[in-house]
């Protein structure tokens, strides 16, 4: 039978590739760590690593057992957390940052599920420009953000995907003044004025789309906040590209029309926190609730939810 302490010691050896350094980190002597390694090899009847003056090199069996040990230890820690939570109900507070639109769709469901599982956890909410969301995790005031996921998420961030929906090209339904490049017969996207996100993932996606279409946009305004983009478009200042979810929730939805646009990308929203804090009991509980709730935020269900607001 494999001893979990021996498995943990082996993982530490793999991380350092040096018996002496691994012994220092685990606060045991190198001889004790060596005996632990020997016990594992005797139990498994395989050679897990080779040792020489340069350090330690894993065998194929060692790499296989390392992956098994890591998963086993993570499951064991998760079980301990669940047992502790069941015996000692979690209490405390978390703070979530998101856009106004995201707060309408995701927060009520997440809060209701969290209250069922952990009624003593208090949640506070701050809304603002979603373009700044991921950056706020580097500070101490925000525990979670609901943010658009970039193509490559930093390793320091843990994300629980919530929903994926498209970006849409919109135009004012009845502009007060004629817009350049916009006529009853069609729209010239190279001439029409555009309202764009000032920065963030939306601006990145829109810039990439313009480049793919070989278009240089005529930028009328750059604004912070996705809701403001829809508002300015509805007021007749220009065309815009915005998340469909934001357009559907906007009080100005009836004042814009959706235009056909080739190959506009999808927008992926997720609940995010710092990877280094994901093990904290209260944050781990919130992550579990979000992962459980995520399937209910499918595109179809989100559209149905919008119809009831």
* Domain positions in the chain: 4-87, 92-162+269-308, 165-267
Where are the alpha helices (H) located in the chain, listed in sequence order? 4-16, 19-26, 30-44, 60-87, 100-105, 107-117, 133-136, 201-212, 226-234, 244-249, 281-293, 299-308
Burial of 136 (0-12, 13-18, 19+ CB in 10 A): middle
Instruction: Judge: domain 92-162+269-308, CATH 3.40.190.10.
Output: yes
DSSP helix/strand/coil, 272: strand
Tens of pLDDT, residue by residue over 7-46, are: 888 888 887 787 887 777 677 888 888 888 889 889 899 9
Closest CA to 118 of 152, 91, 84: 91
The SS3 of residue 199 is coil
pLDDT higher than threshold 50 for residue 305: no
* DSSP 8-state code for residue 178: P
pLDDT digits (tens, 9 = 90+) for 232-260: 999 999 999 999 988 988 899 999 999 98
CATH class label, 4-87: mainly alpha
- Beta strand 239-243 with 218-223 is unpaired
Please indicate whether the domains covering 92-162+269-308 and 165-267 agree at the CATH topology level. Answer: yes
End-to-end alpha carbon distance in the chain: 57
Structural Rg of the chain based on CA atoms: 26
Q: Does domain 165-267 have CATH number 3.40.190.170?
A: no
């Amino acid at each position: 039978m494999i001893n979990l302490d021996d498995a943990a010691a082996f993982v530490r050896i793999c991380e350092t590739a040096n018996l002496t350094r691994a012994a220092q980190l685990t606060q045991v002597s190198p001889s004790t760590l060596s005996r632990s390694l020997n016990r594992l090899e005797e139990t498994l009847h395989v050679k897990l690593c080779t040792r020489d003056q340069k350090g330690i090199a894993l065998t194929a069996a060692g790499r296989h057992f390392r992956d098994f040990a890591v998963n086993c230890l993570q499951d064991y820690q998760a079980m301990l957390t669940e047992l502790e939570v069941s015996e000692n109900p979690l209490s405390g507070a978390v703070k979530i940052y998101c856009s106004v639109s995201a707060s309408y769709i995701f927060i009520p469901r997440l809060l209701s599920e969290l209250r069922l599982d952990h009624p003593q956890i208090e949640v506070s909410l701050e809304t603002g420009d979603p373009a700044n969301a991921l950056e706020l995790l580097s500070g101490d005031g925000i525990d979670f953000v609901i943010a658009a996921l970039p193509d490559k998420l930093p390793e320091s961030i843990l994300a629980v995907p919530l929903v994926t929906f498209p970006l849409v090209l919109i135009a004012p339904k009845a502009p007060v003044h004629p817009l350049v490049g916009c006529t009853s017969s069609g729209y010239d996207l190279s001439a029409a004025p555009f309202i764009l996100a000032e920065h963030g993932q939306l601006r990145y996606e829109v810039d990439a789309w313009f480049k793919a279409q070989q278009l240089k946009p005529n930028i009328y305004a750059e604004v912070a906040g996705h809701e403001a983009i829809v508002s300015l478009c509805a007021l007749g200042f220009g065309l815009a590209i915005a998340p469909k979810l934001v357009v559907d929730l906007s009080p100005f939805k009836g004042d814009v029309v959706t235009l056909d646009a080739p190959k506009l990308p999808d927008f992926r929203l997720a609940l995010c926190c710092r990877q280094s804090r994901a093990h904290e009991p209260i944050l781990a509980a919130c992550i579990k609730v979000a992962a459980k709730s995520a399937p209910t935020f499918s595109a179809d269900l989100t559209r149905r939810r919008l119809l009831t607001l």
